Amino acid sequence: MKDVYILAVETTCDETSIAIVKNGHDVVALTILTQMDEHALYGGVVPEIASRRHTENITMVLEETLKKANMSVNDVDAIAVSYKPGLLGSLLVGVEFAKTLSFVYKKPLIGVNHLIGHIYANNLEDNLEFPVIALVVSGGHTELSIMHNDYEFEMLGCTMDDAIGEAYDKVARVLGYPYPGGPHIDKAAALGKDTYKLTKPVDDDTYNFSYSGLKSQIINLVNTEKMKNNEIRKEDLACSFQNIAVDELERKVEKAFNETGIKRLVIAGGVSANSYLKEQMKVLCDKHEAKLYIPRLLYCTDNAAMIGAAAYPLFLKKEFKDLSLNPSSHSDLEQ
């Protein structure tokens, strides 16, 4: 069969990224331009700034990617774009850009769900086999599902309030770490001990998660200690928080292993970059003799290569979009 080259565009949040991916597995070229440092000044992503920067930079990111690949847009077989979920203004830049390329170069257009993109990041270095338990842990999502086949999801549970990445970012902020806080908590926790007694979320025997109570406990604790002029042991608090946050994920994944009998786990989204989470999930998968998929660090956080990987099965099924494609902030696991 002829090789399939997909040019993929990703602008859901604060990374402008374009990639060319061959046959859904091989990254021919990838460019990621992050705006993280600028948003860090404000303690989080400022949507208006994000969409402006995407607009200013996207053409340059395309040129750079084509140069790295030594290809032109004429050489690719399709244009893919993540069109949901995300910041609407940011999504709009990527979607309009991809629609224009598709129209001008007469290439089919593929709309990709960003969350599903995170899962397919695992196809860039491995080969996803089904059925697999899929855990998406990012700044906006905490979702557990069974993936029966390409694009066939059965939802098990999701967060009832904050996403795990959001909790990491808020806890980091109250501890004085810059945005995005997840990597800082990751490093701090590795240096600390679990000495703070925090209450765990209630075990309601569902597959749902809740992180807002844990986050609020820490914010209250820090504020109370500050008022009393007491020292906060940042590393220890980061460690106590992280242990509970990751234990929750483990507990639900173990329940899924036991109840579904499926012995494969794929972890996706920005928080899958977390070292403690990776370690713990390896231990859990070894215990259950389950296969674990976690992407390489570069592919854990937002990037267009994962969008190219997720677009490939849709290309094979000829599931194309037309120029009426609009961005959506809907965060389901639907194509």
- The residues of the shown chain that bind Zn ion, judged by CB under 5 A, are 138, 302
Q: Is 151 left (phi over 0), alpha (psi -120 to 50) or beta?
A: left
Using the minimum distance from each CB to ligand KG4, give the nearer residue, 157 or 183: 183
CB of 163 to ligand KG4, least distance (A): 7
Pairing between β-strand 142-149 and β-strand 132-137 as defined by DSSP bridges? antiparallel
For the chain, the residue count is 335
How far apart, in whole angstroms, are the C-alpha atoms of residue 45 and residue 39? Answer: 5
CB of 241 to ligand KG4, least distance (A): 11
Using the minimum distance from each CB to ligand KG4, give the nearer residue, 96 or 162: 162
Q: Is 270 in the site for ligand KG4 (CB under 6 A)?
A: yes
327, interface contact from ligand KG4, Zn ion, none, CB < 5-8 Å by kind: none
Residue with tokens 């002829």: 2
Among 253, 273, 305, 311, binds ligand KG4 (CB under 6 A): 273
Interface with ligand KG4 in residues 176-195 (CB under 6 A): 180-183, 186
Using the minimum distance from each CB to Zn ion, give the nearer residue, 118 or 321: 118
Using the minimum distance from each CB to Zn ion, give the nearer residue, 169 or 302: 302
CB 201 within 8 Å of CB 248: yes
Angle between helices 47-69 and 88-105 (to 10 degrees): 30
Token reading at 324: 């009426």
In sequence order, the 6+-apart residues with CB closer than 8 A to the CB of 41 are none
Count of residues that interact with ligand KG4, criterion CB under 6 A: 19
Q: Is 94 in the site for ligand KG4 (CB under 6 A)?
A: no
Token reading at 72: 């032109």
Q: Which residues here bind ligand KG4, judged by CB under 6 A? A: 13, 138-140, 165, 168-169, 180-183, 186, 269-271, 273-274, 301-302
